Structure 1
Amino acid sequence: MVERTDAGQAPNPLGEVAALVDGGDMDCGSGLLLLITRAMRRLEPGQLLGVRSAEVSVVTDLPAWAELIGHDLVTEVAESPDGPWWFAVSKAGKPAQAATVFTPGERLPVGRRLWIYTNFDCNLACEYCCAESSPKAAARRFDADLATEVFREFTAQDGREVFFTGGEPFMHPDLGALVRAAGGLERTILTNGMIFGRGARRETLEHLDRDVVLQISLDSATPELHDRQRGAGSWNRAVDGITLARSLGFRVRVAATLYDEDPKGVEALHRRLDDAGIAMPDRIIRPVAHEGFADKGVHVSLEGLEPEPTLTADGAWWHPVAVTDPYMRIADAPLPLSEVFGVVRDTLAVQDAAAQSGREVFRCA
């Protein structure tokens, strides 16, 4: 098995290893930690994981990672004084931190919540879309049969909540089947609220169970900001969508995405939502993540982003805002969930052990 993030074909000076990860110039604060965690989970105790890296911080961080977990660093070889560097790490029989995981704050237990990207095409091309969705985007639709398998495993592992997002989920022709497959779980659909008012999409909406929550995007109290960020006329149609969904008996959450939380703008939005009868717990104001289409916003990284495992038709990711970031990819397929959640738990265990010991092994340049 060879896992690569770099196409380099340098000769392996380590000898025979069970798996080889080529991390290119990634550091342990980004994609390398996920790669080596995933690869190590697939090995038997005593087998060797080979790691190649061109990032100088890994010379310090990878031995610290091995020590924290209880693995043995067997070999370290430098191709030159300036790298790249090669490491061989022997998998421990029992990870040292497996029984004692430090949990800071109120972290949501891994496996309780799951995100599904139903599709990536959208009727809008919002300027800050973290998923790079638009009318021109490839649909990459999540298959209904795959969803059935996912939710069967998710329920068996005591999962509770599922969030359907996109793209615009109501552009998926089998959205109803996807949502039904998650029956018995707490279900929320994230939507711009613009296209479910008529035709087949209206039928999909009306046939949804009324315990399904609709989270509709509304960025401002008046059209100016919302339309500037999402497209002309989108504010009025979103407001109409909120009104329609509530008239049909759905619980509606309203989510605003803002570059800068202008106090006056936020206050005005709250007043409008007061008038609309949207309860305070059903209001979400969130910053723009510097991902996808956004050319500015909050920087996200493995070390600063609490995990919310996210599935797409072609893989699994650390968090829904990071599905265009190859460094945040957990797996190359959405199943098995046991591996997806296992990689997340193992990564958190290392982060928590590092926090307890005062080490810094996850630097993001």
Structure 2
Amino acid sequence: MPDQIPTSTRPTPAGEVAALVDGGDMDCGSGLLLLITRAMRRLEPGQVLGIRSAEPSVVVDLPAWADLVGHSVDAQVGETPDGPWWFGVRKAARADQPVAMFSRGGRTPLGQRLWAYTNFDCNLACGYCCAESSPRAAARRLEPDLGREVFGEFRAVGGREVFLTGGEPFMHPRLTELVDAAEGLERTVLTNAMIFGRGRRREMLEALDRSVTLQVSLDSATPDLHDRQRGAGSWARALDGIGLAVSLGFRVRVAATLYDEDPAGVEALHRRLDSEGIAGEDRLIRPVAREGFAQAGVHVSIDTLEPEPTVTADGAWWHPVAVTDPHMRIADAALPVAEVFGVVRDTLAVQDAAARSGRQVFRCA
């Protein structure tokens, strides 16, 4: 979605406008807040941001947002009585940005963790894949040169850990270089553990520093559920991969993705992981998010999803499960990292201020 549109082809509020954003039908509880927060950060105090929206709730919510932050809505123009509407929002000389609770719910404090999609192609096509990865997906590889810049800036601003996910990271021919680019950070590579057993990919695995953690997907204690969700034969190969990684001295974390947490199935999975030598703290059970290929699962938005800033070769996102959702795109490039985290911090601050004031500023369908 473009964040700037030519003034010659669009009606604008009265007065000089420094930049324009078109929010389409997004509301403040979905992608519009991210879009206007990023645009405002790029303006000087006193400059005006033009905002176009076809969403009726924005007529009420946008002034509430501006009031919380300290900006002013100088103008509002409707293209028709029923919209779309244009707003002119003047950036405050000194915006009293509310203080955000950067570690809400006991989660990892914002700024310490970064997710990176190494690539989007995969040997599997899981029915619930939030990233829409498959053997036919465009690779969209994060190249080591960009990775070095991203991880270097992340370290410089106090980052501590990076999670490298995909797609299947071991399909990236330069994965080892990319992991090395994150040296100095706690590094975890997410993998289905199916393709690094031999040949060039076995060499890539063995070349990784043993300080790297491997997080392997295993959805059930027996093949039935795992293979139904991920493809025939995938359970046995994943289990072989876990055994190989452990034998080579890697710390292995196991993550199960489930539509429903059946207590008997979860207990059976834990018994299986006991037999594989996977420590209790290295086990994660997570729900399916209704994103990407998934037609069912948990609905997520910036209202309901704790931020886990995520970079790809071509952008930055609120959370790794949302990289196919344009409403949760933070930026059109992975750099600068400081701006990515800045947009998230500003958004959290306004969310917290709205919650404290009881205002309904962030509605989500």
In the superposition, the TM-score normalised over structure 2's length comes to: 0.96
How far did residue 82 of structure 1 move?
Answer: 1.2
Aligned to 2:83: 83
Aligned to 2:259: 259
Moved more, 18-27 or 104-113: 104-113
Percent of aligned positions that are identical: 75
**CA deviation vs aligned residue, 1:146-179 (integer Å, no higher than 9, x gap):** 1111111111001000000000000000000000
Aligned to 1:58: 58
**CA deviation vs aligned residue, 1:290-335 (integer Å, no higher than 9, x gap):** 0000000000001111111100000000000000001110000000
In 1, the alpha carbon distance for the partners of 2:127 and 2:356 equals 40
How far did residue 5 of structure 1 move?
Answer: 9.1
In 1, the alpha carbon distance for the partners of 2:13 and 2:213 equals 55
8 A contact 1:14–1:87 mirrored in 2: no
Aligned to 2:349: 349
Aligned to 1:16: 16
8 A contact 2:13–2:87 mirrored in 1: no
In 2, the alpha carbon distance for the partners of 1:151 and 1:232 equals 37
In 2, the alpha carbon distance for the partners of 1:198 and 1:5 equals 51
8 A contact 1:14–1:86 mirrored in 2: no
Aligned to 1:114: 114
Aligned to 2:201: 201
In 1, the alpha carbon distance for the partners of 2:108 and 2:239 equals 32
Counting only pairs closer than 5 Å after superposition, residues 270-289 of structure 1 correspond to structure 2 as 270-289=270-289
8 A contact 1:102–1:356 mirrored in 2: no
How far did residue 356 of structure 1 move?
Answer: 1.2
In 1, the alpha carbon distance for the partners of 2:353 and 2:14 equals 28
In 1, the alpha carbon distance for the partners of 2:274 and 2:106 equals 29
In 1, the alpha carbon distance for the partners of 2:101 and 2:182 equals 31
Aligned to 2:216: 216
How far did residue 184 of structure 1 move?
Answer: 1.2
Q: How many residues align?
A: 362
In 1, the alpha carbon distance for the partners of 2:84 and 2:325 equals 24
**CA deviation vs aligned residue, 1:251-298 (integer Å, no higher than 9, x gap):** 000110001111111111011111111111100000000000000000
Tell me the secondary structure at the aligned position of residue 145 of structure 1.
Answer: helix
8 A contact 1:130–1:291 mirrored in 2: yes
Aligned to 1:155: 155
Aligned to 1:320: 320
In 2, the alpha carbon distance for the partners of 1:136 and 1:225 equals 24
Aligned to 2:331: 331
Tell me the secondary structure at the aligned position of residue 308 of structure 1.
Answer: coil
In 2, the alpha carbon distance for the partners of 1:107 and 1:244 equals 31
How far did residue 214 of structure 1 move?
Answer: 0.3
In 2, the alpha carbon distance for the partners of 1:340 and 1:215 equals 25
Stretches of structure 2 lacking an aligned partner (at least 5 in a row)? none
Distance 1:5 1:234, change over 3 A: farther
Runs of 4+ in 1 over 4 A off after TM superposition: none
In 2, the alpha carbon distance for the partners of 1:283 and 1:228 equals 21
Aligned to 1:307: 307
Aligned to 2:358: 358
Partner letter of residue 235 of structure 2? Answer: W
Tell me the secondary structure at the aligned position of residue 289 of structure 2.
Answer: coil
In 2, the alpha carbon distance for the partners of 1:40 and 1:97 equals 12
In the superposition, the TM-score normalised over structure 1's length comes to: 0.96
In 2, the alpha carbon distance for the partners of 1:351 and 1:107 equals 17
Tell me the secondary structure at the aligned position of residue 106 of structure 2.
Answer: coil
8 A contact 1:17–1:49 mirrored in 2: yes
In 2, the alpha carbon distance for the partners of 1:107 and 1:258 equals 21
8 A contact 2:13–2:86 mirrored in 1: yes
8 A contact 2:13–2:75 mirrored in 1: no
**CA deviation vs aligned residue, 1:29-64 (integer Å, no higher than 9, x gap):** 001000000000000000001111111100110000
8 A contact 1:256–1:285 mirrored in 2: yes
8 A contact 2:196–2:241 mirrored in 1: yes
Tell me the secondary structure at the aligned position of residue 3 of structure 1.
Answer: coil
